[in-house]
A and B are shown apart, each in its own frame.
Chain A
Amino acid sequence: MGLWLFNGLLIGICAIVFFPIFSTLLLSIKEPQDVRRKPPVLLPCDTESAAFDPRNCRFSLDGYSRVLLLRPNPDSLFGASVTGRLFTQYVPNTLFYATFAAIVTTMLAGLAAYGLSRFRFRGRRLLLTLLLALSGVPLLTMLLALYQMNVRMRQMLPGYEERLFMVIVYVGFELPFAIWVVKGFFDTIPIELEEAAKIDGASPLGALARIVAPLAAPGLVSIFLLTYVNVWNEFIANYLLLGRSELRGAMYGIYEYISQSLSAYNALAAACILVILPVITIFLFTRQAFFRSMLEGAIKG
């Protein structure tokens, strides 16, 4: 009896939580005339005689075709190529930022966390506190200065690459949290293993690469994934720091649809679905890694 009640409640909650995603998915496959209906319908399955007739559901890929804007192209493998800006510009930019930011963050956080976990030196506690305190300073606060920094470097350095600046900004945002998380993982690895390796003649960095890093691999993987998803989802820094829209990422692509206030809501819904699909897939396949680093980081803070 109690079990049924709990299961029922949880299923209800899951349904409510999922409803916004589900309705967006439905909207993305509606036909244009069903998108602009007053009053709106959740399922476009009504006919003139029946309010709901499952055999008469009308769906179309109109929203997706508006996002992708396929043009016939005989040179392409599929006979057509994508010309929608979301997939020719914004998503490739985001892939670039997320991939490089995640790689660099994981490597630098690994090195720094090794130093903080394995060595005792003057100023260590101060450094750890500072890393924590920085997470209390709002990100928007820093954007003013970073914006000026970017503008000045663009003027002064010939051949200056704004994409690299964006990657470094993301690395800087993600590092303090990442260092705390990775340090937590390193702390759980017994130091005796390294000492044994050193007796066998390994250098400290050799011990890090061959003994500690493999053992901390789950932690490093989870911080890589977390950074990847965070950068994928980031909007405000990307939007405000980069002056030219062709350098901006996928979230700006979504914002562009909204700010142009187009009434092709099925296209906006389709763009949303396409943009969240990769992160939801990553999450579903690697959820343990997410929970691990999230709890590790949160409890430290």
Chain B
Amino acid sequence: MNQTQKPLRISVGRWLPFWVLLPAMLIIAAIQLYPTIYTILLSLQQIEPGTGRFVFVGVRNFERLLGSVAFVRSLVHTVVFLLGYVVLTLSASFAIALLLRQRLRFTPLYITLLFVPWVISDVVAGAVWRLFVVPDYGLFSPFFANPTLFGEPNGISILTTVPPNQFSPRIPLPPAPALLFLVVASAWKILPFTTLLILGALQTVAQEVQESARIDGASNLQLLRHIILPLIRPMLAVTLFYLILGGINGVGMVFSLTGGGPGTSTEVLSYLLYSIGFSKLDFGLAGALSVFIAMLNFGLIALTLRLSAAYEEH
């Protein structure tokens, strides 16, 4: 990965590295760097009523954001979604990766088949899962509408069912079935990718290490816990990194599967950002929410790296 190569002796163009990097860096600066800085500045401003000009308001947008009902609600939705998404995806892909590691004759075929959902867009994946539960005609609709299984429904499908808040009127718990359905659909979409990452890590665990552990009398479970898990921990951190990024920022599937509904029960933070910034056009508040989401990303990723001890390897 980090091979040390002796530097090329530059005689012709001392500025060659500058010129080859320039076009890419200009575009990245315009499309990623500038918007990031712009958003941070935006979060400290508000449109002045009357003049329509942006004026500096300090942290007022952040105060408005943290005090709003919609923000608390969306944060709870995001936390529920993220927990379900990470736990479901990690455990399922770990189990599937352990099976794929057996190097059966058809393993390459299984890998190819399992990988197909990854190239399907999140909008199409959302549409496909939506078709399962559309009122009346979805394949799973009768199952979810079954009162003996799920209690008396208060809607005609999980796309229209919202349970009452049990603990506090402002905290949307228990989550709506649509949010849990969104978790399953999102996990289905990302599963191939995470499975392949974990499989790649499992294949680097040397056979000799496992065999010698076995000779020392380790059981299958001990082998998994004390040998395999610690060895693939860096890759689990990488997987978690992608799950967190995708889980917080992914919004395409919310659009096509539930549209944030029923009511607001699948309105996660990224969907709230869309509705504040692009429907209500409250740019200052949207800027503050953007900054919050970015901090959440970086915070969770830093935590992941620290927990996994992959931090020291960098």
Contacts and interface: CB of A to CB of B under 8 A. Distances in A.
Interface of A: 3, 6-7, 9-10, 13-14, 17-18, 20-21, 23-24, 27, 35-40, 42, 108-109, 111-112, 114-121, 127, 131, 134-149, 168-169, 171-173, 175-176, 179, 184, 187-188, 191, 194-195, 203-205, 229, 232-236, 239-240, 251, 254-255, 257-259, 263, 265, 268-269, 272, 275-276, 279-280, 282-284, 287, 290-291, 294-295, 298-301
A172 B191 CA distance: 27
B283 A20 contact: no
Interface stretch (B27-35, B55-63, B219-227): B27-35
Interface residues of B, number: 97
A112 B25 contact: yes
A41 to B, nearest CB: 8
B117 interface: yes
A258 B256 contact: yes
* B-side interface mostly: helix
Contacts of B3: 187-188
A138 B293 contact: yes
A301 B193 CA distance: 14
Nearest to A251: B123
Interface in B130-188: 130-132, 134, 136-139, 141-142, 188
B23 A108 contact: yes
B36 A137 contact: yes
Contacts of B248: 138
Contacts of A115: 16-18, 20-21
Interface string B252-289: 10011001000000000010011001100001001100
B10 interface: yes
A214 to B, nearest CB: 18
A174 to B, nearest CB: 10
A134 B7 contact: no
Contacts of B200: 295, 299
A118 B116 CA distance: 36
Task: Determine which residue in A127, A136, A175, A299 has the highest number of CB atoms from chain B within 10 A of its CB, and name it.
Answer: A136
B122 A42 contact: no
A199 B259 CA distance: 62
Given A168-B31, A191-B8, A111 B21 contact: yes
Contact of B290 (A40, A136, A140): A140
A111 B23 contact: yes
A169 B99 contact: no
A7 B106 contact: yes
Contacts of B5: 117-118, 187, 191
A212 to B, nearest CB: 11
Interface stretch (B66-74, B205-213, B237-245): B237-245
A301 B305 CA distance: 11
Given A119-B17, A138-B297, A235 B131 contact: no
A140 B273 contact: yes
A269 B131 CA distance: 8
Given A17-B114, A258-B127, A283-B115, A144 B23 contact: no
B112 interface: yes
B137 to A, nearest CB: 5
Given A23-B139, A40-B141, A279 B106 contact: no
A276 B128 CA distance: 11
A291 B196 contact: yes
B290 A138 contact: yes
A233 B122 contact: yes
Given A17-B113, A20-B125, A108-B27, 13 more contacts: A10-B110, A17-B188, A27-B131, A112-B24, A118-B5, A118-B8, A175-B27, A236-B252, A240-B274, A258-B256, A268-B127, A295-B200, A300-B1
Given A6-B104, A136-B245, A276-B121, A295 B31 contact: no
B287 A204 contact: no
Contacts of A232: 121
A23 B132 contact: yes
B191 A17 contact: yes
Contacts of B35: 141-146, 149
Contacts of B277: 143-144
A40 B39 CA distance: 48
A248 B12 CA distance: 46
B302 to A, nearest CB: 10
B53 interface: no
Given A175-B24, A191-B6, A272-B128, A255 B255 contact: yes
28 contacts: A10-B104, A17-B192, A23-B131, A38-B137, A112-B25, A115-B20, A118-B17, A120-B7, A138-B270, A138-B294, A138-B297, A140-B249, A141-B294, A144-B38, A168-B30, A168-B31, A176-B32, A188-B3, A191-B5, A191-B8, A195-B8, A236-B252, A236-B255, A258-B259, A272-B128, A283-B119, A287-B112, A290-B115
A144 B287 contact: yes
B290 to A, nearest CB: 4
Given A17-B113, A141-B36, A279 B196 contact: no
Nearest to B255: A255
Nearest to A27: B131
B243 to A, nearest CB: 12
Contact of B124 (A23, A112, A184, A254): A254
A131 B28 CA distance: 9
A118 B125 CA distance: 41
Contacts of A194: 8
A54 to B, nearest CB: 20
B8 A204 contact: yes
